[in-house]
Amino acid sequence: LVARVYESKAEFRSALQHEKEGYTIYKNQLGEHHEKTKESSEYLKYLTQQAVALQRTMNEIYKNGSNASIMPLKFTAPSMASVLEQLNIINGILFIPLSQKDLENLKAEVQRRQQLQES
């Protein structure tokens, strides 16, 4: 989330620094093959490309002055699912995916406890 804020300000060095920290945490806690780790890795590649593009533009400006052709920067728009996930994390809401079997076991346990309370 912090990296995205810095990206929106075209501060790619800071964005890269923060996303690298996030990637390290994901990799250490969840492993290299987890979807969050892979997502972070892809975002690092994207940020690197954007930083290179910005540096090339700056070099062009320094070289050619006001006659330089400046390409507009592209910013990624996070998906709605990503935004909701970030908001849930910030607000302390954690969703735990349950299989159908887990749901059935949970339902059976709730019913068992209700019967015990009634007796």
Average pLDDT score, the chain: 85
Helix (H, G, I), strand (E, B) or coil at 104: helix
CB contact at 8 A, 26 and 34: yes
What is the percent of the chain with per-residue pLDDT over 90, rounded to a whole number?
Answer: 36
- Let me know the angle formed at the C-alpha of 100 by 115 and 35, rounded to the nearest 5 degrees: 135
37-88 confidence digits (pLDDT tens): 999 999 999 999 988 888 888 888 888 776 666 666 666 677 788 778 878 8
Closest CA to 85 of 21, 1, 15, 3: 1
How sure is the predictor about 17, in pLDDT bands with cuts at 50, 70 and 90? very high
The per-residue pLDDT for 45 is 95
